[in-house]
Amino acid sequence: MWNRDIGKSSKKCKELFKKWKDTGRQCEESKRLMKSEKTKLRSLQRRAHADVTRKRVNKLMQASERVQKTFHEMVNAQRKVVNDHGSTTLVIDGNEYSQPNEILSIWKNHFETLATPYILEDLNDNIHLQNNIIYKNEIQSGKPLEKVSNKEIEEAIKKA
């Protein structure tokens, strides 16, 4: 979407950026002006998009009152439209992704990670380490270790 105000603001943004870049990117005043103009530009873009959406909805509502065929044609056309009217970006760990395929790939990897259970590869090492610590603590306590039957172990596991 483009209109006269957006064109003027875009041109001014580019001029302010060039001015800021030419000063060696050191002038804070130029940077502040550039950022405020860029904010104004984004606001104008959002407003223009909202106006188009509002007009489309009004047209849709008027069509629904008049002719069913026109209404359904507009609904189907709306479903087919790809919503590519804003800056859709995803930032992860400082990396910015804006291409739809990149974003889909990142979400796919994210949900695969969530769906994959975390399994300790060195689980046996941890079990042996815990057993050794327990054994050393029991030895240092001075009490003799009691023998345990397999049945008692099975019952203890069932309780846990």
- Residue 90: φ, ψ to 5°: -130, 125
Per-residue pLDDT in tens (0 to 9) along the chain, 160 residues: 688 999 999 999 999 999 989 988 888 888 899 999 999 999 999 999 889 888 887 877 776 666 777 777 777 777 776 555 545 677 777 787 778 888 888 888 888 887 777 665 666 677 777 788 887 887 788 777 778 888 888 888 887 6
Name the region of 145 (left: φ>0; alpha: ψ -120 to 50; beta: rest): beta
Rounded Cα distance, 74 and 65, in Å: 13
Residues 6+ positions from 97 with CB-CB distance below 8 Å: 89, 90, 91, 103, 106
